[in-house]
Structure 1
Amino acid sequence: MGQKLVGILLNAAMHRGVPRLKTGQESLESYEEAAAAYGMIPCFLQLSDINPESGFSIAYVKGRQGYVRTVIPTPGVIHNRAIYSQGSTGIDRLLGQGLLIFNTCNRYGKDQIHGLLEQNEALQCFLPDSRTGMSGLKEMMNRYSDLILKPCRGSVGKGVMRLSRISARRWTWSYLPSGSRRWLSSTVDPQALPRALRLRFASVPYLVQERIPLAELSGRPFDLRVTVQRGWGGEWQVTGMFAKLAAPGGFVSNIARGGEALSASAVLDQVFTGSAAACIRMSVTSLSLSIAHQLERSLPGLADIGLDIGITRDQRLYFIECNGRDQRYGFQKAGLSGTWKDSYRRPMGYARFLLEEPARYIRY
């Protein structure tokens, strides 16, 4: 295989950090290693530097003196790691010129994903009961005693709240004030919800879900982050999984909100018996692949996702949410450096596969 170019599309802020090796959670070194394994050279792009009419782009390419902005023929295959919603005119323009971009859109509403999965009868039993908006909140408060409230388009646990019934006329509202890492709670009347809560619902769409009684380790609830990716050959594969433990006293497991990443096998083996832990891992793998196959039917270019899967004390599985731009650093924090490297290697394998077999690029 001769060396070929592969594009890595970054947002503008991250792209500016490439020459200084300041790209946040994205590992340039891992991209270099993964691309080289498939005979490719990674070129780090931003959307404004791609000229589809000329067929050339300006990209950061690594040389002897580090990363230098270089004019290159626009790579035929691009892995999108920037944040774009469906219908991005810039991405659509590139696709119209015949470029093969995977993970074209990576910002989906939680309500949208829930609706797509709900269309598959076999997956319905893995979905928490959900509603949207203030009317949905009132309906759910009549049906359940413990609720999780999530912004439909929020990420890393930002804006998540909890409502728990104490009595017929008293609920506990738990939330994280803006800029704080300390959760606050107050008692509220269900017939007169606090203005601050109502304002949040008025400002952005919210998804209201029954709170799943997640299994716990040392009193801390946890779920599993499962990375599901296409690799060489184009088929979906589970690259790996790790456990996310909520902070002590907390109820969200996001690492950015004080959660902790640990080996999934180590956590499951401590919480469940050996045979049950092995069965859960296999079931989580099977469920994750089924979810990816269902989503790909409606989401063009899908190739690299992170799924949060919850497990109850009685070993029942629940889909929690889908991350269209999986932040892979949790593997590294969990001590799973080999899997962390694999999470970069697999998309590069898919990119090389598309370069060799462009007709296998999935369009809908």
Structure 2
Amino acid sequence: MTPTPKTPSPAGGRSADERRRALLRTARDVADDLGADAIVRDQAGKPPTDETARLREAGLPAALTPPGPGRGADWRTGCAVIREIASADSSVGDVLARHYVHAWSGRFYAGHHHATALEEESVREQWLWTGAVHAPAPNDYADGPDLTLRPRTTGYVLNGRRSVDTAVAAADQIVVDAVCTATGDVLVVRIPPSARGVTVEPALDRLGQRVAGAGEVVLDRVAVTPGQVLGRRPHDEESTPPFTALAEPALRLALCHVGLGIAEGALTEARDLSRGGRAHRLPGEDPDLLLTYGELASAAQTATAVVDRATEVMAQALATGAQLDAEEPAGVAALVATAETVTSKATLHISARVLELADAPGLDRFWRNARVLTAHRPVAHRLRSIGEHYLNGSDRAVAASFR
């Protein structure tokens, strides 16, 4: 049953804890709703039009915005909601994770007043966010930028194409970075997909995360007003403000919660099959099955502990805001890289092993989803970054794309 439509509620005397509990209850209701037909929707592999409608009906896009007076969700709560949804349908969890982090774009790149107005409008209009912002790298745009901004009297004209991992045809705002042809500055802008000159090309027949709505956005002479420009994205890590440096690890950490949701969903579904007598082996007949479940549950709990620690440190850094110490983002990024490494291994391992425990339609989706979610983030790269930070105390963050 589709959740009862909700609208973002003002503070209205409710404490932050009461609003948090209400939001988590809503997330559980939405997760139950999504779980009921997750296999059918995965097999269909259609753009997430229905799924995003369910999110909007439950008020989740408005609720998962940066915290403000009587609105938004703090980092811990936002991640808890993402994990809950991902355990039922990781494609939708992916959509929500990227929405939540891209909704922080105003704080990462814009001034305080611009960010506040943007967040209030996002809550009011129930905007769903997505995007793909590159992180600063030494050889950034070595072969020429894929997106360019040409100045004109009333703003800019945006051209190019960019791959987007979620909701490319269903979002209300797409956040991208582009090079200004006049100054060489890299500017972060938001584009409504309905704007003239914007077309989307959905990615079809994906191995996993098939309902996430990935694709490519094509921008042909799209008008960008000054109000759509969030700010400047620095060319390198050394010139990146500490708070802005949190943008990329924040997304990676949110996706760790999607990975944990996959692991938890796979284990729960396999356990229910075993209890219902639909597994290859029954617990009472094969004590080794208990050993296997113990191993897998321990792997999930270990990953959860590491991710929760990184989540706590990230929450503290985000709450510090503009007063964040210049060295702190590197430590946060190292913790996120550790969480990402542990979660990737655990999720792939768990989602593959459950296929040995039970044979049921749709159980393979967990491994397929985990494979796609982790494919573009090599573990070896993360381990080297962790090692560099541990051995040399490097202040450099882990270079990757904010996508």
Question: Is TM-score (shorter-chain normalized) higher than 0.5?
Answer: no
Scaled by the length of structure 1, the TM-score of the pair is 0.25
Relative to total residues, which structure has the larger helix share, 1 or 2? Answer: 2
**Structure (1 or 2) with the greater strand fraction:** 1
TM-score normalised to structure 2 length: 0.23
